[in-house]
Amino acid sequence: MENILLQSADYEPTLPVSEKSNPLTRHIDRAPASSIVKMLQACDAEMFLEKSQTQYQRLLSEEMVKTLMEVAERVRLILKDPQDSLVVLSGCGTSGRLAFFMASGFNRELQRLNYAPVYSYVIAGGDRALFSSQEAPEDDPTLGALRLKKVSEGKKRVLFVGVSCGLSAPFVAGQLDFCLRHPDVYTPVLVGFNPAHQARNEPIPGCTLTFHSVVTRMEELAKTQKAFLINPGLGPEAISGSSRMKGGSATKILLEVVFSASFSRTPVTFNLILQHMRSYEKALDFTYSHSQEIAALMEAAGRSLQCGRQVCYLGWGSLGLLGLIDASECKPTFGADHEDIRGFVSGGYKELGNNEGDLTLMGPEFSISHDDFLDGVLPRLTDDDTVLLLYSDSDDIDKVAKLAHRVREKTSNIHAAYHQTAGDAAAKQDDINKLCSSTIIFTWPQETPERLQHLRELSTKLLLNAVSTGAHIFKGKVFKNYMIDLQVTNSKLYRRAARLMQKLSGHSESECEEALLKAIYQVDKLSEDIATCSLETHTHTAGKAKKVVPLALVCLLSGCSIKEAESRLEQQPIVRKAVEACLKSS
């Protein structure tokens, strides 16, 4: 029943699906770990609901599968002419990170099959946004178009895949518009998870576009296959608006299905696509069949965050990269510090092959190799920190064991998620097991190596999303199913924060925005100057402040000054409890 309710137009009618709150997770903030995992499983399972149960296109809808087949055929054409053609993947935040993840993964796969690489990526904010939160460039459509133009200079045929889960990022709207204005070279593909009419219609400063107007033009061209829309409904996220979760997973599933089909030796058929999608559904069920172990890991990570300590993911290959991605998302989503959850990948930048190369000198957030971990983090580790190894039977087990030994000397709070194939269990892996206080062993059925890798990656993504989300719930960074300490660093996040304040406080839109601005600028009275500043200035200033939304809420609900709200939040660092206390007494 709730599944149907949450898809229906009259549930939170003014919000697009991607911003709605999910009835399944209404009480996730008070749930024990085992129930949190169950709720996440139920939410993720919604991705694969059939259309008959909802009113929108779904991942497995006939129309969707047909569109994927058509796009795969377009990619096939590009593979035949690598000299003059290109596939560009682009997005902001998680969507941009996954663009990089898939572009580099598929180029590697093409090289292995003796094809020339044809994939490029563009992420808003450049490579520094791969591992750190850079939300502001998301608002700039001109920058998006410029970056696309630059990366595809001189190409005669470009398939552009723009990902914006909420059909909302101006950066991507600018790129799609650029494609529509140069149809001789560019064919645009839009990936997102709202029906087209829910695309964001907010005017973008300095330009005449809205995301919605671009989507409307694309819909027209889609009729003649000059543009493609891949926008199935997935149901609302477990944490409202947290598109890194289902949005990110579905982006990965859809694009992998398309790109894999494009270079399969057999013709792309409806059933081939459908079967491939179903294999991800099975991978999801299989991952959550380890729900008890996932819950235990979530608890361990939560304990570390609660006592102000750290969670470190130490991964190999693409699983390590997923660790980096998961960790980097915690800052905008939960107002986390970059030290709270950190990812490290074996080989660091050498392994990644990102556009801008080694970024280590940009600051501590950009130290991402295991060596960086050994130098900078290991010496300070204690039993209060949680370390999670992410590896598989295709990695160098000796190296994993060596690192595990070093970590074990400093902390017993070491865990592992290990992927193996049925019948291929590695004996040496037992030694690592003995060093770890828990190991989740995922034993996969035999599959082709590349498909197996994709499924293991999805599984790892789900696991990490669960661990980091659950740990932040325990730290009090979620209220009901809302991110209560989100960063307010771009227009989408600003609007989300203002809406959340209205919902929780019952105050008017203008009162909430006033409180939000006071918290951003750290003042008790708004000057004329501040009130007339642009949204861009507000979001830029918000990037320098901490706990903006909790501060604004405490002030609004209790009528106290910013200083007093700060001291209340210091006395009660569990933001959820501080806000609850105000709600009770207001």
Residue number with CB closer to ligand F1P (210 or 243): 243
| Residue indicated by tokens 């200083």 | 563
Q: What is the 3-state secondary structure (H, E, C) of 87-110?
A: EEEEECCHHHHHHHHHHHHHHHHH
Query: Total residues at the site for ligand F1P (CB under 6 A)?
Result: 19
Piece of the chain touching ligand F1P by CB under 6 A; list 161-169, 305-313, 509-517, 524-532: 161-169
Shortest Å, Cβ 584 to ligand F1P: 30
- Footprint (CB under 6 A) of ligand F1P, residues 224-243: 243
E-assigned strands of 367-465? 386-392, 414-421, 438-444
Closest residue to ligand F1P using C-beta atoms? 93
**How far, CA to CA in Å, does 172 sit from each of 44, 77, 441?**
25, 24, 39
165 near ligand F1P, rule: CB under 6 A: yes
Shortest Å, Cβ 256 to ligand F1P: 17
The sign of the torsion formed by the CA atoms of 449, 37, 495, 574 equals negative
- Footprint (CB under 6 A) of ligand F1P, residues 326-365: 329, 332
Shortest Å, Cβ 539 to ligand F1P: 11
The burial class, CB within 10 Å (0-12 / 13-18 / 19+), for 240 is: buried
The residue within the footprint of ligand F1P, chosen from 137, 141, 144, 166 (CB under 6 A), is 166
| Helix (H), strand (E) at residue 311 | strand 311-315
**Would you give the binding string for ligand F1P spanning residues 34-73, x where CB under 6 A is met?**
----------------------------------------
In degrees and rounded to multiples of 5, residue 514 shows phi and psi of -65, -45
Residue number with CB closer to ligand F1P (496 or 568): 496
164 near ligand F1P, rule: CB under 6 A: yes
In degrees and rounded to multiples of 5, residue 417 shows phi and psi of -120, 115
Query: CB atoms < 10 A from the CB of 529, how many?
Result: 9
Residues in the chain, total: 586
Residue number with CB closer to ligand F1P (246 or 456): 246
- Footprint (CB under 6 A) of ligand F1P, residues 76-95: 91-95
Is-contact 61 140, C-beta < 8 A? no
**Would you give the binding string for ligand F1P spanning residues 380-399, x where CB under 6 A is met?**
--------------------
Shortest Å, Cβ 408 to ligand F1P: 34
302 near ligand F1P, rule: CB under 6 A: no
Q: Which residues contact 144 (CB under 8 A, 6 or more apart)?
A: 90, 122, 124, 170, 171, 172, 173, 174, 175, 178
- Footprint (CB under 6 A) of ligand F1P, residues 121-150: 135, 138
- Footprint (CB under 6 A) of ligand F1P, residues 244-283: 244
Query: CB atoms < 10 A from the CB of 444, how many?
Result: 18
Is-contact 333 244, C-beta < 8 A? yes
Residues of the shown chain interacting with ligand F1P in the complex, contacts defined by CB under 6 A: 91-95, 135, 138, 163-166, 168-169, 243-244, 329, 332, 492-493
